[in-house]
């Protein structure tokens, strides 16, 4: 099954890329934080505006109300605008504005949990981490790669064991995410055309 899953993922999404637009390391960090309970499409609309006006150093001293207005379409703008300010302050004060390869530091930032940290470490530093979001969690459980009662960390740990000798975890992350987002969807999954249906533990037709 493992080889079949990888074969299908490579057929459907041979060259997956990070869907978030960024040009600097801190831009990715803030974009991923903003994507919580928000679509990538929406984040990609506000971040170019935000980063054309501020860099990481000026963000530290920016008016939180101005940040709030810029990121308003992302939702939870009051909390997220404050998160951005603190993230900027921490990066500037402790790492001269550079995002470090440091899980403990990253997870200490507001709005940045394990999932976001995994995205940053894998994307920026090519570390072998998988960021399990709702799409990957759903797909993993339907395919029996994880148990229905597994929490997000449990799903992540089982995926590491299952895909223990793959070339790129970041590629796999994007492939699993895209398969869950566009094929094995939460509502009206495309079971008829799904090439992994024979392994699915939840026949939803």
Residue 181 makes CB contacts below 8 A (sequence gap 6+) with 135
Please enumerate in sequence order all residues whose Cβ is within 8 A of that of 169, keeping only pairs 6 or more positions apart, or say none. Answer: 122, 127, 128, 129, 130, 163
Catalytic residue among 60, 80, 85, 133: 133
The reported pTM is 0.88
Point out the domain boundary residue: 71, 95, 125.
125
Model confidence pLDDT, tens digit, residues 84-117:
999 999 999 999 999 999 999 999 999 999 999 9
Residue 34 shares a structural domain with residue 101? yes
| Residue 76: its H or E element | none
We report the CATH number of the domain holding residue 112 as 1.10.340.30
Q: Could you confirm whether 115 is annotated as catalytic?
A: yes
pLDDT, position 165? 74
Cβ–Cβ under 8 Å, residues 158 and 143: no
> What average pLDDT does the segment 3-21 reach?
91
Residue indicated by tokens 């990957």: 136
111, 98, 55, 121 alpha-carbon torsion, rounded to 10°: -50
Q: How far apart are CA 79 and CA 108, in angstroms?
A: 16
Residue 119 is predicted with a pLDDT of 93
Out of 125, 148, 170, a domain closes at 125
Average model confidence (pLDDT) for the chain?
92
Domain with 73 in it: 25-125
Of the listed 115, 164, 195, 201, which one is catalytic?
A: 115
Q: Which of 21, 82, 93, 103 is nearest to 56 (CA)?
A: 93
Number of folded domains in the chain? Answer: 2
The average pLDDT across 139-158 equals 93
pLDDT at 203: 59
Binned at pLDDT 50, 70 and 90, residue 75 comes out as: confident
Is there a catalytic annotation at residue 41?
no
């Amino acid at each position: 099954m493992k080889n079949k899953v990888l074969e299908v993922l490579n057929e459907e999404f041979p060259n997956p890329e990070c869907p978030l637009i960024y040009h600097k390391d801190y831009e990715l960090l803030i974009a991923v934080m903003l994507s919580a309970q928000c679509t990538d499409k929406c984040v990609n609309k506000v971040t170019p505006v935000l980063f054309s006006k501020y860099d990481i150093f000026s963000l530290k001293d920016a008016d939180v109300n101005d940040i709030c207005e810029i990121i308003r379409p992302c939702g939870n703008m009051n909390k997220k605008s404050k998160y951005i300010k603190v993230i900027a302050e921490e990066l500037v004060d402790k790492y001269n504005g550079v995002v470090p390869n440091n899980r403990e530091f990253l997870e200490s930032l507001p709005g940045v949990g394990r999932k976001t940290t995994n995205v940053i470490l894998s994307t920026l530093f090519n570390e072998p981490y998988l960021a399990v979001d709702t799409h990957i969690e759903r797909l993993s459980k339907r395919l029996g790669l994880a148990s229905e009662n597994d929490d997000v960390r449990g799903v992540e740990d089982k995926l590491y064991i299952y895909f223990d000798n793959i070339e790129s975890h970041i590629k796999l992350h994007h492939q699993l995410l895209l398969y869950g987002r566009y094929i094995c969807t939460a509502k009206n999954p495309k079971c008829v055309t799904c090439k992994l249906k024979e392994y699915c533990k939840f026949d939803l037709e």
